[in-house]
């Protein structure tokens, strides 16, 4: 089942990836950190918050440094951190896919959950009192980052922003895939971006699910999620227009499903997650045993890891492939997580590597499997599954395969 199940022209190819997170500001820096098993979690130093002591995956560049890195010299006050992170990752992805000069129809499906909230927090007094300069109002909503990216790359058609909580960018990838399949674009830049905010930190804190010392996914002693920030973008192309030498891998299957169960919690039996994984397998024309690695959603909360773990057991039975959550490296980057973990899954495929689940201490008594805890550098992978589950029961699963 290694070959593309669809007629060749319907293959969805990935020709560029870009990422910025607590691990670094390029695919190379990300791979280096993963290989060295270096976590990006640390006390918060850049965001102004009273919750600085709670470890998070913060990108250790100020907005000014990000602006400099992007070579933005004018109108510097009109960029939110969400947009800057997005621009950094989108630029790397576009550069890698090298579309310069060719006349391809390009669209953009971005995603975010916090949008302009970071900017809003920084200027809260002026905004709440109504004294803010009116030119900044367009920076507050979800569309801003996508439009800044569109502006930079001259993208004018079918630009959208998906927002389905923690599965946002996985769902952005799915929308982009359908744009290619339906011939609406030759190339779609897909992904997501979220800056760390007081809003998210305090929100997760109010739910009492923030880990005080760094997340431990799939661990009996897990004590919550560690938040992060960052952006990741992928370039999707059809076989008809992709240059063969640029092809990194295929997006071979995907699923977007809903639990219709609870606003924030996932079904404890993992039915919703299992539904999502099964649908993705079906859309790829693959069997569970074809999956060689699962990059789990694995947030480190009591509920997620139990429900996702049970879903994996349900779908994979006695043949559970290596599983790890890489949120111990990056933190949970919310809207960016699906795309960031897609990039990490693609790195695993490209480099035949399995990335360990950091800080693992004790198996969960409810589960029959334990996560991958060592780095493996010679793992020939054919198909990798990546899960993203969000508030509102918004579940998504993606499958990446060797070209």
Partner 1 sequence: MMPAYIISTGLISPQRTFENDFSCDADTGGAPILTAVEPDYRGLLHPVQLRRSSRILKLGIGAAQRCIHNAGGRQPDAIIVGTGLACVNDLETFMKSIEESGEQGLSAIPFINSSHNTVAAQVARTLQIQTYNNTHCHRGASFENALLDTLMLLQEEEYKHVLVGGIDEFSMHYYRLLEEKPVAGEGAGFFLLSDTPPGNNSVKISAVKTFYRPPEDFIARFLEEQQLPAHQLDAVVLGINGLPADDAVYRRQIDTFFPPHALLAAYKHLCGEYRTAGAFALALATHALWAGAFPAPSVLRPGASGKLQKVLLYNHYQNCNHSLVVLEGG
Q: Catalogue the active-site residues.
A: 166, 297, 332
Residues 90-119 that bind partner 1 (CB under 8 A): 112-113, 115, 117
Of 162, 195, 277, 323, which one interacts with partner 1 (CB under 8 A)?
162
Supply φ then ψ for residue 47, to 5 degrees.
Answer: -70, 135
Minimum CB distance to partner 1 smaller for 226 or for 267: 267
Both tokens of 387, joined, read 């899960």
Stretch that binds partner 1, among 18-26, 65-73, 127-135, 372-380 (CB under 8 A): 127-135
Q: Which of 157, 213, 366, 377 binds partner 1 (CB under 8 A)?
A: 157
Query: For residue 259, how many other CB atoms are within 10 A of its CB?
Result: 21
One residue of 263, 318, 319, 380 binding partner 1 per CB under 8 A: 263
Give, as ranges, the residues between 180 and 209 that touch partner 1 (CB under 8 A): 181-184, 198-199, 202-203, 205-207
How buried is residue 303: exposed, middle or buried, by Cβ count under 10 Å (0-12/13-18/19+)? middle
Q: Select from 69, 123, 158, 373 the one that contacts partner 1 (CB under 8 A).
A: 158
Q: Residues 135-142: contacts with CB within 8 Å, 24+ apart?
A: 135/78, 136/77, 136/78, 139/78, 139/80, 139/83, 140/115, 140/116, 141/115, 141/116, 142/112, 142/113, 142/115, 142/116
Classify residue 50 by burial, with Cβ atoms within 10 Å: 0-12, 13-18, 19+.
exposed
User: Which of 230, 205, 91, 222 lies closest to 148 in space, CA to CA?
Assistant: 91
Is residue 12 within a helix (H) or strand (E), and if so which, with residue range?
strand 12-20
Position among 29, 223, 391, 403 found at the interface with partner 1 (CB under 8 A): 391
Nearer to partner 1, 70 or 265 (CB): 265
Binding flag, residue 37, partner 1 (CB under 8 A): no
Q: What is the DSSP letter of 393?
A: G
* Closer of 240 and 362 to partner 1 (Cβ): 240
Does 369 bind partner 1 (CB under 8 A)? Our answer is no
175 binds partner 1 (CB under 8 A): yes
Q: Which of 104, 261, 288, 351 binds partner 1 (CB under 8 A)?
A: 261
* 388 binding partner 1? (CB under 8 A): no
Residue 141 touching partner 1 (CB under 8 A): yes
DSSP one-letter string for 208-222: T-B-SS---TT-TT-
* 151: three-class secondary structure by DSSP: helix
Q: Does 152 bind partner 1 (CB under 8 A)?
A: no
47 binds partner 1 (CB under 8 A): no
46 binds partner 1 (CB under 8 A): no
Instruction: Please provide the DSSP assignment of 255-314 as one string.
Output: EEEE--S-SSPPPTT-HHHHHHHHHHHHHHT--GGG--EEE----S-HHHHHHHHHHHHH
Q: Which stretch binds partner 1 (CB under 8 A): 20-28, 94-102, 284-292, 385-393?
A: 385-393
Cα 326 to Cα 232: distance, rounded to the nearest angstrom:
14
Among 75, 100, 130, 380, contact with partner 1 (rule: CB under 8 A): 130
- Residue closer to partner 1 (CB basis): 155 or 358: 155
Q: Which stretch, 32-40, 80-88, 178-186, 239-247, contacts partner 1 (CB under 8 A)?
A: 178-186
Residue ranges binding partner 1 (CB under 8 A): 49-51, 112-113, 115, 117, 120-121, 124, 127-128, 130, 132, 134, 137-138, 140-143, 146-147, 150-151, 155-165, 171, 175, 178-179, 181-184, 198-199, 202-203, 205-207, 256-264, 272, 275, 390-394
């Amino acid at each position: 089942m290694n070959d593309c199940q669809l007629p060749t022209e319907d293959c969805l190819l990935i020709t560029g990836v870009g990422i910025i997170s607590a691990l670094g500001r390029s695919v190379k820096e990300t791979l280096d950190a993963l290989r060295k098993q270096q976590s990006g979690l640390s006390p918060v130093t850049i965001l102004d918050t009273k919750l600085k002591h709670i470890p998070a995956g913060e990108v250790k560049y100020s907005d000014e440094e990000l602006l400099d890195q992007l070579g933005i010299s004018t109108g510097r006050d009109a960029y939110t951190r969400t947009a800057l992170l997005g621009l950094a990752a989108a630029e790397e992805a576009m550069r890698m896919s090298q579309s310069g000069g060719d006349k391809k129809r390009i669209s953009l499906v971005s995603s975010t959950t916090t949008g302009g909230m970071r900017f809003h927090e920084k200027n809260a007094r002026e905004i709440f009192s109504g004294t803010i300069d009116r030119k900044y109002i367009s920076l507050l909503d979800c569309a801003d980052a996508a439009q800044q990216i569109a502006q930079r790359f001259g993208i004018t058609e079918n630009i959208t922003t998906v927002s389905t909580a923690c599965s946002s960018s996985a769902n952005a990838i799915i929308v982009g895939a359908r744009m290619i399949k339906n011939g609406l674009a030759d190339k779609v830049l897909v992904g997501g971006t979220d800056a760390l905010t007081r809003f998210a930190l305090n929100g997760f804190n109010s739910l009492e699910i923030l880990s005080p010392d760094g997340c431990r996914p799939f661990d009996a002693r897990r004590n919550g999620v560690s938040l992060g920030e960052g952006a990741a973008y992928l370039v999707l192309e059809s076989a008809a227009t992709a240059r063969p030498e640029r092809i990194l891998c295929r997006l071979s299957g995907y699923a977007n499903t809903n639990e219709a169960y609870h606003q924030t919690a996932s079904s404890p039996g993992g039915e919703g997650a299992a539904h999502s994984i099964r649908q993705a397998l079906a859309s790829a024309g693959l069997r569970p045993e074809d999956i060689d690695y699962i990059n789990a959603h694995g947030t480190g909360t009591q509920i997620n890891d139990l429900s996702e773990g049970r879903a994996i057991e349900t779908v994979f039975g006695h043949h559970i492939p290596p599983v790890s959550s890489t949120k111990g490296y990056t933190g949970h980057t919310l809207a960016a997580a699906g795309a960031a973990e897609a990039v990490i899954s693609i790195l695993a495929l490209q480099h035949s590597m399995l990335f360990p689940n950091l800080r693992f201490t004790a198996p969960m008594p409810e589960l029959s499997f334990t996560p991958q805890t060592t780095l493996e550098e010679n793992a020939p992978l054919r198909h990798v599954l990546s899960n993203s589950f969000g508030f509102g029961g918004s579940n998504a699963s993606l499958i990446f395969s060797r070209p």
